[in-house]
């Protein structure tokens, strides 16, 4: 079972709960804070794209974040983007996600 579990899309409410409950360690064994997870939900996956998140939208967001990281000049911002990207990639493939 992964984030999409053979479904073309997931409801935003399920994605929000998954973000809250995900136990993914980034970097030196630290998890993303509650504020960082809320920022991912609101900024990277805005509601203006509909009531569900498709696999394509998820991949486009990862690609956009990777491009932002590549273009970023500020090293601390680059590190934060790298942590977000790693978190989202782990979230996508993690087999024991809460539903």
Which pLDDT score is estimated for 93? 82
For residues 95 and 61, which has the higher predicted lDDT (pLDDT)? 61
Residues 6+ away with beta carbon under 8 Å from 31: 23, 24, 25
Pair 40, 49: CB distance under 8 Å:
no
Is residue 97 scored above 70 in pLDDT?
Answer: no
Residues 6+ away with beta carbon under 8 Å from 91: 3, 18, 19, 22, 24, 97
Pair 9, 56: CB distance under 8 Å:
no
Quick: pLDDT tens for 20-68: 888 888 877 788 888 999 999 899 998 887 889 999 999 999 999 999 9
Q: What are phi and psi of 27, to 5 degrees?
A: 65, -120
User: Mean pLDDT score of the chain, rounded to an integer?
Assistant: 87
């Amino acid at each position: 079972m992964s984030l999409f579990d053979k479904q073309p899309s997931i409801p935003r409410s399920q994605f929000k709960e998954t973000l809250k409950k995900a136990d993914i360690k980034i970097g030196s064994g630290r998890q993303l804070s509650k504020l960082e997870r809320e920022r991912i939900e609101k900024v990277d996956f805005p509601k203006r794209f509909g009531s569900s998140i498709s696999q394509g939208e998820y991949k486009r967001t990862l690609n956009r974040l990777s491009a932002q990281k590549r273009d970023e000049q500020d090293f601390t911002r680059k590190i934060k983007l790298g942590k977000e990207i790693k978190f989202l990639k782990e979230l996508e493939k993690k087999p024991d996600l809460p539903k």
